[in-house]
């Protein structure tokens, strides 16, 4: 559970009508096709990820990079032996999604993933500025559909942490998935990851 004196329910959680699919007619790649394009050099000098068959280019500015390093440092201080902390490495959530979260916390050891990418995680973290809308809507849907128990958005725009928990189907929209619990933790607050309930992370430690 979150441990902060200032936890409050957010007023800016996207409405169900905000969810948008990519435009009709857009080609959807499988993971195998996407990896073949990578082998052929289509993505040289570009960082990309595959989400529901659509290829997105990833750009990182300086505050984003700083926040990613801060979050990585904070999580590595909490999760020790028996956990793998990955920075921007692939997570396979379905046959058309090979996402690269800014951070993932996965149970196991590094060599468990020599032949295959992880398909689940105890915690995924996205650092958000220009990608805030996509992270709140599209990625939240994909992570909830994959059943990932906890998803953090480090919101650099509003300087807060958005904690998503309790994934499941959206009862209002057939075929959609969402997190039943979305809580805003302000910069002055603290959070305990579900997978490390005795450890406290000050939100200010995650923000540049």
CB 88 within 8 A of CB 104: no
Segment 182-206 shows an average pLDDT of 98
Segment 188-204 shows an average pLDDT of 98
Residue 23's pLDDT is what?
Answer: 55
Confidence of residue 86 (pLDDT cuts 50, 70, 90): very high
**pLDDT tens digits for range 109-132:** 999 999 999 999 999 999 999 999
Confidence of residue 59 (pLDDT cuts 50, 70, 90): confident
CB 143 within 8 A of CB 151: yes
CB 193 within 8 A of CB 165: no
Classify residue 207 by its DSSP letter: -
CA distance 167 to 109: 25
Residue 161's pLDDT is what?
Answer: 98
Question: Would you say residue 133 has pLDDT above 50?
Answer: yes
Classify residue 119 by its DSSP letter: S
CA distance 146 to 142: 6
Mode of pairing for the β-strands spanning 150-155 and 123-128:
parallel
Question: Would you say residue 55 has pLDDT above 80?
Answer: yes
Residue 130's pLDDT is what?
Answer: 92
Classify residue 8 by its DSSP letter: B
CATH number for the domain formed by residue range(s) 16-206:
3.90.1570.10
CB 121 within 8 A of CB 148: yes
Q: Around Cβ 62, how many Cβ atoms within 10 Å?
A: 8
For the sheet with 83-87, list strands across it: 83-87, 103-107, 123-128, 150-155, 160-169, 177-186
Q: Is the dihedral of CA 89, 163, 141, 126 positive or negative?
A: negative
Domain boundaries along the sequence of the chain: 16-206
Write down the pTM of the prediction: 0.84
**pLDDT tens digits for range 5-37:** 444 444 444 444 444 444 556 789 999 999 999
């Amino acid at each position: 559970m979150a441990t902060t004196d200032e936890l409050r329910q957010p007023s800016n959680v996207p409405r169900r009508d905000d969810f948008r699919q990519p435009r009709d007619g857009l080609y959807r790649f499988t993971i195998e096709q996407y990896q073949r394009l990578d082998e052929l050099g289509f993505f040289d000098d570009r960082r990309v990820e595959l989400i529901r068959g659509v290829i997105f280019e990833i750009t990182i500015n300086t505050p984003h990079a700083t926040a990613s390093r801060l979050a990585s440092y904070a999580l590595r201080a909490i999760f020790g032996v028996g956990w793998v902390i990955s920075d921007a490495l692939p997570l396979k959530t379905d046959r058309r999604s090979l996402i690269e979260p800014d951070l993932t916390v996965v149970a196991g050891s590094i060599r468990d993933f020599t032949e295959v990418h992880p398909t689940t995680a105890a915690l995924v973290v996205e650092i958000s500025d220009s990608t805030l809308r996509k992270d709140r809507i599209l990625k939240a849907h994909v992570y909830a559909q994959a059943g990932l128990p906890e998803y953090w958005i480090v919101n650099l725009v509003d300087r807060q942490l958005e904690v998503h928990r309790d994934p499941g189907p959206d009862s209002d929209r057939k075929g959609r998935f969402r997190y039943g619990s979305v809580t805003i933790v302000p910069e002055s607050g603290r959070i305990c990851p579900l997978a490390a309930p005795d450890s406290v992370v000050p939100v200010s430690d995650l923000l540049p």
